[in-house]
Amino acid sequence: MNWYYHSRDPHYKAPFGAVRTNEPVRLRIDGMPSAMVELLLYLPDGPRTVPMQWDGSAYHVTFCAPQTPCRMGYGFRINGRYFGAESGRARFADTPQTYGLTVYDGAFQTPEWFRHAVVYQIFPDRFYCADRARFDRAIEACRATGRSVFAHQNWNDMPFYLPHGGAKNYNPDDYFGGDLCGIREKLPYLASLGVTCLYLNPIFSAHSNHRYNTADYLTIDPILGTNDDFRALCDAARAFGIRIVLDGVFSHTGDDSVYFDRYGRYGTHGACESKDSPYYRWYRFYDWPKTYECWWNFETLPDVEETEPSYTAFIQGEGGVLKTWLSAGASGWRLDVADELPDSFIRGIRRSIKETDPDAVLIGEVWDNCATKYGPEGRRGYVNGDELDAPMNYRFREPAIEFLNGRKDAYWYAETQNQLLEDYPKPFMDACLNLLGSHDTERTRTALCGIPDARTLSRKQQLAIHPDEATLARASKRLLLGYALMAVQPGVPCIYYGDEAGMLGMSDPLNRGTFPWGNEDKVLTEQVRRLMRLHNGSDAIQNGSTRIAAIGKQTLCVIRESEKEMLILLANAADAPVRAVLSPALFFEGPNESLPELNGTYTDECGNTVHARSTLSLTVPANGFRILRRV
């Protein structure tokens, strides 16, 4: 008889995936009697061996997870040989082979409203200008202070990507006039997409159009509006059932800021003005005031010492940045470069925002697997339950782009997503901000033209890429297929402004063009709108279990199932239609022990009726999908 174990099959391990502190974990290995079978636990305080017991058909053991959150390992030893693997089916080896197991705080929960949200990310300067005259006045006021600013006269201009005005280096100082009042005017459009949350790139006073070089954390950038405009936006958004999450840039400030004041613009209180400045200890000077530690060696972005008590209090304390803007109407924060913030600082941010609003959400910019990421101080605690509620889920975005472009197959894609389901606590997984594009990536439709990764190309090479109409049409189909995956898989769908309208663009700043009001791809927009309505209206998506499996080299199936509904997504990344045959045997692994029962009558996305008996067979279009619902 063969030995067999699979970490994702609840017949062999229960519960599925990550476990709570002190939670009992049941393991089973199928094999033969009269063997010496031991469970090997690799715990934070050292290894431990536990004998497994034969019950007449298999070996069993139950152990309790550690009392504190951690990432532990486990494996098996059978008659002196090691048996196990990091994921998937086990095998024999002469050296220890371990499975990873995430243990998280049993009290950890994420905001229900956010788990059920649809998010829309806005780069504020490029979304909509409500008042051109006000914008022009703000630009003139900025120029009067000595700031370098350029105001585009044509909304449809391309953002500057080369030095201009005699400058030697490119400077992101060109503006189009998008403002907070413009976002407010477009709330009906956003609500029609099914959006229930806005994530705004930085809106605080700063001397660039991206505003990641903060000049004053407590003041809205005057080019965008006023503090009162922000409060009015939050109030108006709430009336549409929409909440607002702000971008917190706390690992560095701008050099041209109230706090650093490299150019003496703000008086005598900046860290460069005096060593007696209340902000002096926020920064790491090598030779004051000339040289200092910078973010990624950009002199315009001096790093801060996050654990300096006065800085921590300024961000997290009473009357500080976090609480001020939550009190003004925000519903949460996204942490820029969260992997460059100390864990203790992130824990303090969580405590601060939850004290102000227990329902506020905390999202982190983390590009890697949050359960297994390590830093200089050891394993990061993102999923422990006392730090982030969720990450920006680039672990969805990057595999999806590779799969949709045909560079990786459906088996590989399914493995990447099942790995997250296994590694992440369910409250964390359900809140993951799933995205296909952002201000840090090329536009989704551009990425799905099959072009090389923009990070491997010079800006000149990027500008030379002009996909033909056939390639763009195929990219639009792939984009919609990506949104179908995003709408159905666990997590929170996030639309980068204008992607739903068919916008194109390579990397920064070409991915930050203006929204094409009046020139949208309205067919694409309506198709995205239908998918977001599906996401919001499906009990299986909102509350159900998940199974993900490949049913062919380029064909994927996602099943969501609740007590009220079963929903099946069949995704075909091939350039030709495929006949997909779905059987329960494909889904031996997943969070439910029983196999899915496919028998029944379904309705597809066009309202057609589809019948299934033991297996389900139907044609899926090229670069397309089918969605079936059974209630």
Q: Give Cα 65 to chain centroid, integer Å.
A: 28
> Residue 592 pLDDT > 60, yes or no?
no
Report the mean per-residue pLDDT for the chain.
94
Residue 330, classified by CB atoms within 10 Å of its CB into exposed (0-12), middle (13-18) or buried (19+), is: buried
* E strand residue ranges, 237-304: 243-248, 285-287, 291-292, 294-295, 298-302
* E strand residue ranges, 169-319: 174-175, 197-200, 204-206, 214-220, 243-248, 285-287, 291-292, 294-295, 298-302
> Residue 325 pLDDT > 70, yes or no?
yes
Going by pLDDT thresholds of 50, 70 and 90, the confidence category of residue 86 is very low
C-alpha distances in Å from residue 480, one per residue of 448, 475, 553: 10, 9, 20
Backbone angles phi, psi at 269, to 5 degrees: -105, -5
Name the residue among 356, 306, 363, 361 with its Cα closest to residue 334: 363
How far is 488 from 547, CA to CA, in rounded Å? Answer: 11
Average pLDDT of the segment spanning 344-369: 98
> Residue 605 pLDDT > 90, yes or no?
no
Q: Are 104 and 116 in contact (CB under 8 A)?
A: no
Same fold, 117-251+305-536 and 544-630: no
Average pLDDT of the segment spanning 206-211: 97
Superfamily in which the 13-104 domain is placed by CATH: Immunoglobulins (2.60.40.10)
Provide the CATH number for the domain formed by 117-251+305-536 in this structure. 3.20.20.80
Q: pLDDT tens for residues 246-286?
A: 999 999 999 999 999 999 999 878 999 999 999 999 999 99
Whether 365 is a known active-site residue: answer yes
- Dihedral sign from CA coordinates of 372, 403, 439, 201: negative
How far is 124 from 202, CA to CA, in rounded Å? Answer: 8
Q: Are 209 and 177 in contact (CB under 8 A)?
A: no
Q: Among residues 229, 256, 365, 402, which one is catalytic?
A: 365
Q: pLDDT tens for residues 392-438?
A: 999 999 999 999 999 999 999 999 999 999 999 999 999 999 999 99
How many C-beta atoms lie closer than 10 Å to residue 79's C-beta? 11
Q: Give Cα 170 to chain centroid, integer Å.
A: 29
> Residue 310 pLDDT > 90, yes or no?
yes
Backbone angles phi, psi at 133, to 5 degrees: -65, -40
Going by pLDDT thresholds of 50, 70 and 90, the confidence category of residue 588 is low
Write out the two tokens for 61.
């053991």
Instruction: Delimit the domains of the chain by residue range.
Output: 13-104, 117-251+305-536, 252-304, 544-630
C-alpha distances in Å from residue 440, one per residue of 82, 474, 514, 623: 43, 23, 16, 25
CATH of 544-630, one of 2.160.10.10, 2.40.160.10, 1.10.10.60, 2.60.40.1180: 2.60.40.1180
**CA within 13 Å, CB half, 512:** 21
* E strand residue ranges, 209-335: 214-220, 243-248, 285-287, 291-292, 294-295, 298-302, 332-335
What pTM does this model have? 0.96
Report the Cα–Cα distance between both ends of the chain, in Å, rounded.
41
Going by pLDDT thresholds of 50, 70 and 90, the confidence category of residue 1 is low
Q: Among residues 174, 221, 336, 430, which one is catalytic?
A: 336
Name the residue among 296, 293, 314 with its Cα closest to residue 304: 293
Average pLDDT of the segment spanning 107-120: 98
Average pLDDT of the segment spanning 505-513: 96
Residue 106, classified by CB atoms within 10 Å of its CB into exposed (0-12), middle (13-18) or buried (19+), is: middle
Q: pLDDT tens for residues 434-488?
A: 999 999 999 999 999 998 888 888 888 998 899 999 999 999 999 999 999 999 9
Average pLDDT of the segment spanning 124-148: 94
**CA within 13 Å, CB half, 91:** 6
